[in-house]
Copies of this chain bind each other. A is one copy, B any other.
Amino acid sequence: MSLIIQKFGGTSVADADRMKEVADHVKRTKAHGHSVVLVVSAMGKETDHLLRLASEVSQTRPAREMDMLITAGERKAIALMCMALHDMGVPADSFTGSQAGFLTDTNHQNAKILTIDPQRVQEAVDAGRVAVVAGSQGVSTDNNVTFLGRGGSDTTAVALAHALNADACELYTDVPGVFTTDPRVCEQAKKMPSISFDELLEMTAVGCPKPAMRSVEVARSYGVKLHVRSAFTWEPGTWVTKEENSMEKPIISAVVPDTSQSKVTVSGVPDNPGVAAAIFRPLADSDVNVDMIVQNTSDEGVTDISFTLPTEQMEIGKEIMMSVASEIGAGEVSTDDSVGRVSVIGAGMASNPGVAATIFETLSSESINIHMISTSAIRVSCVVNKADIEKATNKLHQAFELDKG
């Protein structure tokens, strides 16, 4: 008998009807002879609702109390899910993060898992019951309730799959799998039957919304077999595995558009050792998520440094840069939120130097100007005008024949 972890996101359990559908699916999984552990997020817009309540009540919102508040959402969901299962004759017990044995650090709002001791979950499974675990929560080393952050339910599921030595971890969501590109941007997008951890990591890093990057990192570290699939059509989705052995595998697997980032440029930066650290350390200290970094070749001892960050962090990023620039004797700081990024992902890219050339040619033939370029072994990202993102995505998807599946 195999053990399967099934994680359901907020839209998958948004109301009573959805809960019953999920319960029915769990019942069918059990009927196929599998043991099931469920991980459930807060219902629909519940977390947003709680955040709104908090801002009505308080300007300061201490992090410890925010975690006490937000984790109430998942508690409701696990209790209701157990009731729905019980009605279908499937015995089930709910467990909070604490009861499921998730010990975390004390970093409220964004806690990291230290250890998992899922004894009560294992006992429920051994007794033939479904354990329903609250996603994205735990208890800290100083005995306070902690929240793992938005999207943390994926991490809960993957970590639990590892701790329980599960056969697979199914991440159910409102999309049917991982696509060759964003189906909302490009009609030719194709669902991939499988993808490697490294490729999926690069995709989530550049803006592919699901699953949460952190959970993919954990799954990759521990070799947890992931299956990203739909809680609405229930069709098979995309398997994420360690190795991709198929000979038929195309070199390029996906094109990922992303319009959530902006660009900051510091010009006239003195080209001295330690300058990069002087710029990026204060950003890191303020939790600014810098992504792409490009430094131009030095010209007479001065250079320009550009980087991308989430648009909602652009103002704070600029503020920090202004003060750094005056400290290190750099020139102007400029920002640009009219840009976007398109990334091409593929495991075979490193050994195929022609890929980057094809990308640049494709964009050039469409008269799309490239502002920044950054590459890794399995990814090429280009920052272009936001207005060009849709065209760039479609043309690159076509150029690499991803629409031919």
A121 at the interface (CB under 8 A from B): no
Query: How far, in angstroms, from A87 to B84 measured CA to CA in the complex?
Result: 40
Whether A65 contacts B79 by the Cβ 8 Å rule is yes
A66 near B79 with CB under 8 A, answer yes
The answer to whether A247 has its CB under 8 Å from any CB of chain B is no
A62 vs B84: C-alpha distance when bound (angstroms): 10
Would you call B54 and A80 a contact (CB within 8 A)?
Answer: yes
CA distance A82 to B76 in the complex (A): 21
Question: Is A175 interfacial (CB 8 A cutoff)?
Answer: no
Minimal beta-carbon separation of A293 from chain B (angstroms): 37
A52 to chain B minimum Cβ distance, whole angstroms, is: 10
Residue contact A94 to B72, C-beta cutoff 8 Å = no
Mark contacts of A198-232 with chain B using CB atoms, 8 A cut-off: 1 yes-contact digit, 0 otherwise. Answer: 00000000000000000000000000000000000
Q: Is the interface of A mostly helix, strand, loop or mixed?
A: helix
Contact between B60 and A83, CB atoms less than 8 A apart: yes
Residue A182 interfacial (CB < 8 Å): no
Bound complex: CA A360 to CA B66 (Å)? 59
Can you tell how many copies of this chain the complex includes?
A: 2
Asked if B57 contacts A68 (CB within 8 A), the reply is no
**Interface 1/0 per residue, A171-210 and B, CB below 8 Å:** 0000000000000000000000000000000000000000
A19 within 8 A of B: yes
Query: In this assembly, does A99 line the interface, its C-beta being within 8 Å of a C-beta of chain B?
Result: yes
**Would you call A82 and B56 a contact (CB within 8 A)?**
no
Q: What 1/0 mask marks residues of chain A from 70 to 101 whose CB sits below 8 Å from any chain B CB?
A: 01110110111011101100000110100100
Residue in B19, B57, B80, B145 whose beta carbon sits within 8 Å of that of A19 in the complex: B57
Q: Does A318 contact B (CB under 8 A)?
A: no
Is A58 on the interface with B (CB-CB < 8 A)? Answer: yes
A interface, how many residues as a size bin? 35 or more
- The residue on B at minimum CB distance from A64 is B93
Most buried by B among A53, A93, A143: A53
Interface residues of A in 136-182 (CB under 8 A from B): 143, 145
B75 and A57 within 8 A (CB): no
Q: CA separation between A84 and B65, bound complex, in Å? A: 10
Interface residue? A45 (CB, 8 A): no
Chain B neighbourhood of A20, CB < 8 A: 57
CB distance from A130 to the nearest CB of B (A): 12
Residues of B within 8 A of A69 (CB): 75-76, 79-80, 83
Pick from B16, B58, B66, B145: contact of A87, CB under 8 Å: B58
Map CB proximity to B onto A249-265 as digits: 1 under 8 Å, 0 otherwise. Answer: 00000000000000000
Q: List, in ascending order, chain B residues with CB within 8 A of A15's CB.
A: 56
Is B80 within 8 A of A53, CB to CB?
yes
In the complex, what residues of B have CB within 8 A of residue A65's CB?
79-80, 82-83, 86, 94
Flag whether A61 is at the interface (Cβ < 8 A). yes
Question: When the two chains form their complex, are residues A56 and B16 in contact, meaning their CB atoms are under 8 A apart?
Answer: yes
Contact of A86 among B62, B68, B86 (CB under 8 A): B62
A57 touches B99 (CB 8 A): no
Residues of B within 8 A of A56 (CB): 15-16
Q: Say if the beta carbon of A59 comes within 8 Å of chain B.
A: yes
Question: What are 5 residue pairs bridging A and B, where the CB atoms are less than 8 Å apart in the complex?
Answer: A15-B56, A57-B87, A60-B87, A66-B79, A72-B76
